[in-house]
C-alpha cells in the first residue's frame, strides 16, 4: 500500500486537499481540478528533514510542516508553542551571557577568580589607596589599668565589654589547639618580673598575622579590647569561663628587670671571718610581695667568684623599703667586689 493511499479524499494537508482523482490541489482551487501551478505532490511521510511519520493515519498537521513551501505549496503560519518559546528564550540568554563573558574577559584565562561577596581584594603593593583603606588604630584610646581595675574586669568581663585597655600577658598556650589567631595567657595590669606572677587565665584573639612573631612563653604588652567572657573546654576535660580580649597591637617586653629594687650597702667584715652586707629592698610592684635577692662576691676584675649570699624580705608593701643583710660565710679579701645577680618576688 502506498503512503498516499493512507489518505482519503477530502483530507487537508498543508493547505491542500486530496481530491477524488487522487491529486492534491490548493484549497482555493475548485474541487476536481488539478493544481493551479503544477505544485509537487506533498510527501506526508517525511514532515521535515530527519523526521519520519509514524505508520497509520497521519495525525500531523500543517503546523508541523516546514515553512517556506518545503513541499512546494503555500503554507499556513506556524503557531509557536509557549514551552518552545521559553526554551528558546533561555537559550538566547545563555548565548548572550557567553558572548558578554567572552567580550569582558578579553580572552585572558589567567585572570583570577572573583572573591566572595563582601570581600575586598588587597590593593597592589605601593598603591596609595592601601594606606587610605587600612584602618588606623589609635593606641592613645587604650588606657593602662591598675590591679584593682583589672580585678574587676576579670571578675565580670561581660560588664566590661568594649573597654580598651593596656595589659600584660604571659603566653601559656599557643599551638595548633589554639590556632594562629588566638592564644591562652595569664594576664594582669603590671609587667611581671617572674613566671606565674600574672594570674588571670584569659583568651586573647587577633586578626591577620598579629601573632606571627609570638611564641609560647613570651611576655607581651597588649593593647586590647575586652570582648566579654568565653567558655572553653579544657584539655583535662570539663570547661572553664575566662575573660576574652581582642588584641590590636602587641609588643614583646619580657620579664621586668627588678634588679634595681635591691641596693647594696657597705660590707662589714666579721671579727672571726665572713662578711655581712647591707641590702636595701624596695617593692616597685602594686601589691604586697616577698623578695629574694641573690648577691655574689668576686674579684675586682669580675673574673673570679669568691662567694654567694641571699637576702630575704617578706610581705613588703607596694613602695615600701626594708633593710636586710646578706651574709657571706667565706673569708673574703678586703678588695672583694659585690654585685646583685638576681632579684625575684612573689605574692605568696
pLDDT > 70? residue 90: no
Domains and CATH numbers, the chain: 1-77 (no CATH), 139-252 (2.40.50), 259-346 (2.60.40.10)
CA distances from 347 to 94, 198, 293, 318 (A): 75, 10, 15, 11
pLDDT > 70? residue 66: no
Q: According to the model, what pLDDT value does residue 8 have? A: 74
Given the DSSP bridges, would you call strands 24-26 and 46-48 parallel, antiparallel or unpaired? unpaired
Q: According to the model, what pLDDT value does residue 28 have? A: 56
Q: Tell me the mean pLDDT in the region 316-329.
A: 96
Measure the CA–CA gap between 188 and 190, rounded to whole angstroms: 6
Q: Determine the distance from the C-alpha atom of residue 166 to the mean position of all C-alpha atoms in its chain, rounded to a whole number.
A: 24
Q: According to the model, what pLDDT value does residue 135 have? A: 61
Q: According to the model, what pLDDT value does residue 21 have? A: 76
48: its cell numbers: 521535515
Q: Is the pTM of this model over 0.85?
A: no
Mean pLDDT of the chain: 75
- To the nearest whole percent, how much of the chain has pLDDT over 70? 66
Amino acid at each position: 500500500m502506498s503512503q498516499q493511499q493512507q489518505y482519503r479524499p477530502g483530507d487537508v494537508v498543508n493547505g491542500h486537499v486530496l481530491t477524488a482523482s487522487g491529486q492534491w490541489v490548493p484549497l482555493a482551487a475548485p474541487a476536481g481540478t488539478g493544481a493551479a501551478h503544477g505544485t509537487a505532490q506533498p510527501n506526508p511521510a517525511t514532515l521535515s528533514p530527519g523526521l519520519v511519520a509514524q505508520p497509520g493515519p497521519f495525525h500531523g498537521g500543517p503546523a508541523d510542516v516546514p515553512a517556506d513551501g518545503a513541499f512546494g505549496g503555500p503554507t499556513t503560519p506556524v503557531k509557536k508553542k509557549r514551552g518552545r518559546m521559553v526554551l528558546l528564550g533561555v537559550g538566547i540568554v545563555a548565548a548572550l551571557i557567553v558572548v558578554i563573558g567572552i567580550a569582558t574577559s578579553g580572552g585572558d584565562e589567567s585572570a583570577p577568580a572573583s572573591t566572595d561577596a563582601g570581600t575586598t581584594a588587597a590593593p597592589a603593593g605601593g598603591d596609595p589607596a592601601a594606606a587610605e583603606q587600612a584602618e588606623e588604630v589609635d593606641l592613645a584610646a587604650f588606657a593602662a589599668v591598675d590591679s584593682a581595675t583589672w580585678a574587676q574586669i576579670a571578675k565580670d568581663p561581660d560588664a566590661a565589654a568594649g573597654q580598651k585597655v593596656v595589659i600584660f600577658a604571659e603566653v601559656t598556650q599557643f599551638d595548633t589547639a589554639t590556632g594562629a589567631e588566638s592564644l591562652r595567657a595569664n594576664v594582669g595590669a603590671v609587667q611581671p618580673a617572674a613566671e606565674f606572677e600574672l594570674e588571670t587565665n584569659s583568651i586573647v584573639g587577633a586578626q591577620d598575622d598579629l601573632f606571627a612573631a609570638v611564641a609560647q612563653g613570651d611576655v607581651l604588652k597588649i593593647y586590647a579590647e575586652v570582648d566579654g567572657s568565653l567558655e572553653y573546654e579544657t584539655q583535662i576535660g570539663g570547661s572553664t569561663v575566662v575573660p576574652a580580649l581582642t588584641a590590636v597591637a602587641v609588643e614583646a617586653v619580657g620579664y621586668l628587670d627588678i634588679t634595681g629594687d635591691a641596693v647594696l650597702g657597705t660590707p662589714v667584715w666579721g671579727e672571726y671571718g665572713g662578711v655581712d652586707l647591707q641590702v636595701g629592698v624596695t617593692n616597685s610592684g602594686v601589691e604586697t610581695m616577698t623578695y629574694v635577692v641573690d648577691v655574689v662576691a668576686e674579684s675586682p676584675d669580675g673574673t673570679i667568684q669568691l662567694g654567694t649570699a641571699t637576702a630575704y624580705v617578706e610581705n613588703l608593701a607596694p613602695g615600701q623599703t626594708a633593710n636586710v643583710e646578706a651574709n657571706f660565710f667565706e673569708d673574703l679579701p678586703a678588695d672583694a667586689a659585690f654585685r646583685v645577680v638576681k632579684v625575684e618576688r612573689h605574692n605568696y
